[in-house]
Amino acid sequence: MPIEIAWTAISQGPDAIPFWPYIKFYAPLLGIIYLLKRFFGGTQNTWERDMHGRVVMVTGGTSGIGAAVVEDLAKRGAQIILLVKSLSDGWLVEYIADLRESSGNNLIYAEEVDLSSLHSVRLFATKWLDNSPPRRLDMVICCAGLFQPPFKQRMFTADGIEAHWGINYVGHYHLLNLLSPSFRVQPPDRDVRIILTGCSTYVLADFDITDPEFINRGFPSSKPWRAFGSAKLALLMFVRQFQRMLDEYKRPDGNANNARVFMANPGFVRTATLRNFISFGSLWGLLMYLIMWPFWWLVLKSPIQGAQTILHIAMSPECSSGQGGKIYNECREVTRRYGPF
């Protein structure tokens, strides 16, 4: 059939092709849309890795980018530990059951870790570390986060910390620091990776180390990306510092540190968090979002596309050796001295 059409076009001219006026009009348009979609969709992870036997903790693993990461790793055989806000949610039971069935992996569990409560984080970390012999832990992936819509009142965590700072930075900082003994006791031949999720909004941060919660300066409710970006910028600096802390530890067996910390920039992704931000957290905003959905579909990544850089770090052999504390964007290490994303 394609050969016949090509011969018709050559022998009789393109006008002889059925529906040629429509093809001539729509084909360039569809081609442009296809190229734009490929461009905005970002780079795909090309590495494969057998994850059977690996133990992976994930925050924010029930929706958005985190859910896409969890689904991919579960299909590869990893034992997944979902760190969730509450275990009493009936939806969580159905989610895990569906995930086990779709992935063919029954090693998927949930533990209660409310990142907005430092007490909850300590309870989990204490329970995890209080085990002999030490539990296996190959990877921690931090995808949980909060991005408040504009013109909303300041939110606080259970500890009275501004929510952007408390959940995006302090909660993960506390969790990883408390779990650091578990990273250090892993056997020297084990490949331990800690992956945090960044965001390009760090360039819009209004960061002041003396006032990270915007107490004295006033919360920028009309520009919440300043608070969100500040937390992501602090998390970026924490990646470097936490790697130095792990490297400075002297193992009793004399081996070098085998835990490496990375930050991944997933790009702008069609998640519930971003949808809530774009719609201003209102019904009218949601209606406008739905009307403009073709545009958002074109320029925003899907969750699985946003997960590609995280999956690249989780699987790439280049992340299993050498120095940690690196930043990755579009499945490539960022080597620019300024502007890590």
Active site residues: 232
**By the 8 A CB rule, do 317 and 47 touch?**
yes
Amino acid at 7: W
3-state secondary structure of 56: strand
Q: And the tokens for 281?
A: 């957290």
**By the 8 A CB rule, do 18 and 12 touch?**
no
For residue 196, what are the β-bridge partners?
A: 142, 263
CA distance 341 to 339: 5
**By the 8 A CB rule, do 17 and 23 touch?**
yes
Give Dmax (Cα) for the chain: 82
DSSP category for residue 171: I
Q: And the tokens for 67?
A: 């859910």
Q: And the tokens for 266?
A: 């997933």
Residues contacting 44, CB < 8 A, separation 6+:
305, 308, 331
How many C-beta atoms lie closer than 10 Å to residue 80's C-beta? 27
CA distance 231 to 234: 5
CA distance 268 to 106: 32
**By the 8 A CB rule, do 198 and 232 touch?**
yes
For residue 261, what are the β-bridge partners?
A: 194
Q: b/e per residue, 128-157, with b = 16+ CB within 10 A? A: beeeeeeeebbbbbbbbbbbbbeeeebbeb
**By the 8 A CB rule, do 301 and 165 touch?**
no
CA distance 111 to 162: 24
For residue 201, what are the β-bridge partners?
A: none
